[in-house]
Chain A
Amino acid sequence: MELQAVLMAAGGGSRMMDLTYNTPKPLLPVGNKPLIWYPLNLLERVGFEEVIVITTKEVQKMISTDPKVKLDVKMKLDLVCIQEDADMGTADALRHIQQKVKTDVLVVSCDLITDAALHEVVDLFRAHNATLSMLMSKAHEFTETVPGQKGKKKTGEQRDFVGVDGTGKRLLFMANEADLDEGVVIRKSIMRKHPRMHIKTGLVDAHLYCLKKSVVDFLADNKSISSIRGELVPYLVRKQFSKSTNSPKVIDETHQNLKKNDSNVNLEIQISSRDEELLHLTQERSCWNDHRGDMSDAYHGGRLRCYVHIMDEGICYRVNTLAAYIEANRLAPKLFDEPAVHPSAVVSERCLIGADSIIGASCQISDKTSIKRSTIGVSTTVREKVKVTNSIIMHGVTIEEGCNIQGSVICSNAVIGRGADIKYCLVGSAQRIEPDAERTNEVIVGTDQLMEI
């Protein structure tokens, strides 16, 4: 077996609490499909046959019981549950399933929506025998107005500084603005080996990583690393240039320590050492070098290599903020070609449904409604003379007559009273908007989930 897929679906969605306080993030509907469907579909399209899904008990229950959550994948899903309150980071979760990991892993996050060609990332991993290979994308500006955002958009979260070499594939430097005190500090050893470095900001990390099995084993021994993105990846990128890695220590040592428990210890170490000799002979005889201009061998003799594939065009979104969620809903229909209007929806003839709207199953759309650039969830009722523009309506919502909804997100089971005028609002789950209300740019959520600091 070459690669095992691991899907991280236990995250809380801490940056969009208004959406996730009632629905766990992996099950948020995007284009009327649960968010977790997108990475699963990506893995299935590429050819994976089984996936290990790390998630919470709540999500597991909802997947197995709720009929609205249909995953529709043919792959075998191995669900591993962790406690919600255990505050496990992604690396902790990987450590948790260490026994199941038998080969190199491909770690994907449940909030990734992309049409990237995965073989580009995996080819870097294979061809250069890399320890880490990841996917990044040029960030696109979010054009849609985000409900509840007062004033101008913040200049964004802390920036990521990503340093790559001349080819744009080898990862040399990675740091987040939050971790840098005065400025970007680059070690001289890196500059000596790679005098030309391109530093990029404005890249979105797709949180898709190919990791060698020895990294998972390494995590088992180093319990202090808790997040893949925040700690493991910068650690590996730094370790490429550390002096101790140029002797077969750190990662290979732990690999051999684990092998001590096997009975065929000597044989395996013998095999791996003879194979190493052959690989060394190949590299010696091959006339390829990844850089030129200095006297060192290919890869500067380094044994730990990290690579990145940066997508120029194509869709790549991490749905972890409200703005990203709205943008994703806008683009989701391009990723699958199911009919925009679900066959089981009851749509009256005298309503205007724009070509870029999606109507979910079992909906009831009454006369004289106009739905443009919007997503209507499953089992939603839309009564007469309603105008819905640029909005996301989740499942089980009831919209009474004469409403006007623009640029808003209405969460599941909400009720919008008749004649209400909602502009750029976020209506929380199961909320009721009174008739003839006029709300603009507000976040309307229940009091029970406010102030959960």
Chain B
Amino acid sequence: RGVPYQTVTLIHQSMVKRLPEHVQVDDPAVVKRLAKKLERQQIPLRSDYGYKVSLFSHLHQYSRKAPLTQLLSIPSTVIHPSIVRLGLQYSQGIVAGSNARSVALLHAFKQVIRDYTTPPNEELSRDLVNKLKPYISFLNQCRPLSASMGNAIKYIKKEISNIPSQCKEEEAKTKLLTCIDRYIEEKIVLAAKAISKYAIEKISDGDVILVYGYSSLVNNILCEAFEKSRKFRVIVVDSRPRLEGREALRRLVQRGISCTYVLISALSYILPEVSKVFLGAHALLANGYVMSRVGTSQIALVARTYNVPVLVCCETYKFCERVQTDSFVSNELDDPDDLMVTRKGKTQLENWQDVSSLGLLNLVYDVTPPDFVDLVITDLGMIPCTSVPVVLRVKNLDQ
């Protein structure tokens, strides 16, 4: 009311965005378009595996036993060897966790830039970006890109395009390498230090802190707090099939922090003992929702019921402009065979594909609404969940 008709349509046009391809796998036209694009870039197409639960049939589901490298030539010539290595490490889970994946990606890009030579009659600023596109498609096929990786790629592409054309190749390459080093230093290492500083203020002596799965940032905070002689104990909650909590547990116990380990099914049993919950995030969405490992929203929900404060720790480079209100539209499906477990030599689900009415679902992420999150600790300070769009707007203005 009171808004002129024309402005309304203008807003609508700018808001209309195309759905990304990776959430339209059940549309054959989109799949064909993707196959054509990959063929042009000389990247092999990785085929989906196994029966997909109908609610998630619009997402890719790959098998770890069919890596993309079996369709590539050895030695790889189309794709830089460090990118092939990175793709393998992603798909096998050797490099897992939002921060680790971003650092590994930037490290591989450094090698690519170092080995790059501008072909004659081409400009580095345009050609290098075009060279990176097939690599990114390849990495996307190995494992869908995370929000942090997406932001890192955006940053690099911007830096490359901003190289002036009269810049000499060696100079340009050194400049790019220093940019990457600086990005990692600022956005990941120093951000972790800043977040630890803020978070330690929130940890008091005698606290019982609950953490879920493995978050490199939360682990960092707890280790730093322990070094600053805060007295607290940690409860590590874990969930199948990844069981990442075991690694978190190992690292905390190695430092000397006293820990308890439970599976997520024991959550409501253990929560009365907990004084605060620290959660890591894979990405913070523009409407304040927190995207994190599947199970996080459960933890936040139960914690809210018991009136336990939930603090999410997240660096600003993981903030992303996407908006999501549910965990269905955009998610990642992991290898369903991971759900099979062998006990005493028997694997019950061995022939799950033969049972027509059985589908195995291995979700990776879920979204937590901002009502369940009390505070988000970022390197810019401690903000409420709903302030995320403000941070994004400020960041965009900066750039």
- Which of B72, B84, B184, B248 contacts A278, CB < 8 Å? B184
Closest to B81 in A: A2
Q: Is B214 an interface residue (CB 8 A)?
A: yes
Given A123-B69, A126-B85: A286 touches B95 (CB 8 Å cut-off) = yes
A117 B73 Cβ-Cβ under 8 A: no
Task: For the complex formed, measure the closest distance between the CB of A102 and the CB atoms of chain B, giving whole angstroms.
Answer: 12
Task: For the complex formed, measure the closest distance between the CB of A358 and the CB atoms of chain B, giving whole angstroms.
Answer: 29
A3 B106 Cβ-Cβ under 8 A: no
Query: Which residues of the partner chain B approach A344 to less than 8 Å between Cβ atoms?
Result: none
- Which of A47, A127, A128, A275 contacts B73, CB < 8 Å? A47
- Which of B107, B188, B248 contacts A279, CB < 8 Å? B107
A47 B248 Cβ-Cβ under 8 A: no
- Which of A119, A126, A288 contacts B95, CB < 8 Å? A288
Determine the distance from Cα of A282 to Cα of B69 in the docked complex, in whole angstroms: 22
Q: List 21 A-B residue pairs with CB atoms under 8 Å apart, sorted by A's residue number.
A: A2-B81, A46-B74, A47-B75, A48-B73, A48-B75, A119-B72, A123-B67, A126-B69, A127-B88, A127-B94, A274-B181, A275-B111, A278-B184, A281-B188, A282-B95, A282-B100, A285-B100, A286-B95, A288-B94, A288-B247, A289-B247
Which B residues from 89 to 113 make CB contacts under 8 A with A? Answer: 89, 92-97, 99-100, 103-104, 106-107, 110-111
Query: Which residues of the partner chain B approach A271 to less than 8 Å between Cβ atoms?
Result: 114
Determine the distance from Cα of A374 to Cα of B62 in the docked complex, in whole angstroms: 45
A287 B247 Cβ-Cβ under 8 A: yes
Determine the distance from Cα of A170 to Cα of B132 in the docked complex, in whole angstroms: 33
Query: Which residues of the partner chain B approach A281 to less than 8 Å between Cβ atoms?
Result: 103, 184, 188-189
Given A119-B67, A127-B85: A288 touches B96 (CB 8 Å cut-off) = yes
Query: Which residues of the partner chain B approach A275 to less than 8 Å between Cβ atoms?
Result: 107, 110-111
Q: Is B253 an interface residue (CB 8 A)?
A: yes
Task: For the complex formed, measure the closest distance between the CB of A42 and the CB atoms of chain B, giving whole angstroms.
Answer: 11
Q: Chain B, 253-270, contact with A by CB distance < 8 Å: what is the 0/1 string?
A: 110000000000000000
Which B residues from 64 to 92 make CB contacts under 8 A with A? Answer: 67, 69-70, 72-77, 81, 84-85, 88-89, 92
Task: For the complex formed, measure the closest distance between the CB of B196 and the CB atoms of chain A, giving whole angstroms.
Answer: 14
- Which of A2, A127, A274 contacts B75, CB < 8 Å? A2
Q: Chain A, 166-179, contact with B by CB distance < 8 Å: what is the 0/1 string?
A: 00000000000000
Which B residues from 229 to 261 make CB contacts under 8 A with A? Answer: 244, 246-248, 250, 253-254
Task: For the complex formed, measure the closest distance between the CB of B142 and the CB atoms of chain A, giving whole angstroms.
Answer: 11
Given A126-B84, A282-B107: A287 touches B70 (CB 8 Å cut-off) = no
- Which of B73, B93, B99 contacts A285, CB < 8 Å? B99
Closest to B105 in A: A282
B75 A286 Cβ-Cβ under 8 A: no
Task: For the complex formed, measure the closest distance between the CB of B248 and the CB atoms of chain A, giving whole angstroms.
Answer: 7
B74, B111, B247, B248: most-surrounded residue (chain A CB, <10 A):
B74
Given A2-B75, A292-B246: A119 touches B96 (CB 8 Å cut-off) = no
Give the size of the chain B interface in residues (CB under 8 angstroms): 42
Closest to B243 in A: A292
Q: Is B216 an interface residue (CB 8 A)?
A: yes
Query: Which residues of the partner chain A approach B248 to less than 8 Å between Cβ atoms?
Result: 287
Determine the distance from Cα of A285 to Cα of B217 in the docked complex, in whole angstroms: 8
Q: Chain A, 113-128, contact with B by CB distance < 8 Å: what is the 0/1 string?
A: 0000111001100111
B216 A287 Cβ-Cβ under 8 A: yes
Query: Which residues of the partner chain A approach B92 to less than 8 Å between Cβ atoms?
Result: 127
Determine the distance from Cα of A106 to Cα of B94 in the docked complex, in whole angstroms: 23
Given A48-B75, A278-B103: A285 touches B97 (CB 8 Å cut-off) = yes
Determine the distance from Cα of A267 to Cα of B83 in the docked complex, in whole angstroms: 23
Determine the distance from Cα of A279 to Cα of B103 in the docked complex, in whole angstroms: 8
Task: For the complex formed, measure the closest distance between the CB of B277 and the CB atoms of chain A, giving whole angstroms.
Answer: 19
A287 B214 Cβ-Cβ under 8 A: yes
A2 B247 Cβ-Cβ under 8 A: no
Query: Which residues of the partner chain B approach A286 to less than 8 Å between Cβ atoms?
Result: 94-97, 100, 104, 216
Query: Which residues of the partner chain B approach A47 to less than 8 Å between Cβ atoms?
Result: 72-77
Determine the distance from Cα of A370 to Cα of B225 in the docked complex, in whole angstroms: 86
Q: Is A186 an interface residue (CB 8 A)?
A: no
Task: For the complex formed, measure the closest distance between the CB of A289 and the CB atoms of chain B, giving whole angstroms.
Answer: 6
Q: Is A1 an interface residue (CB 8 A)?
A: yes
Which B residues from 107 to 128 make CB contacts under 8 A with A? Answer: 107, 110-111, 114
Query: Which residues of the partner chain B approach A274 to less than 8 Å between Cβ atoms?
Result: 181
A46 B73 Cβ-Cβ under 8 A: yes
Q: Is A451 an interface residue (CB 8 A)?
A: no
Given A123-B69, A295-B253: A278 touches B107 (CB 8 Å cut-off) = yes
B88 A126 Cβ-Cβ under 8 A: yes
Determine the distance from Cα of A117 to Cα of B100 in the docked complex, in whole angstroms: 30
Closest 7 CB pairs of A and B: A47-B73, A2-B75, A286-B100, A287-B214, A2-B81, A285-B100, A3-B75
A123 B246 Cβ-Cβ under 8 A: no
Query: Which residues of the partner chain A approach B184 to less than 8 Å between Cβ atoms?
Result: 278, 281
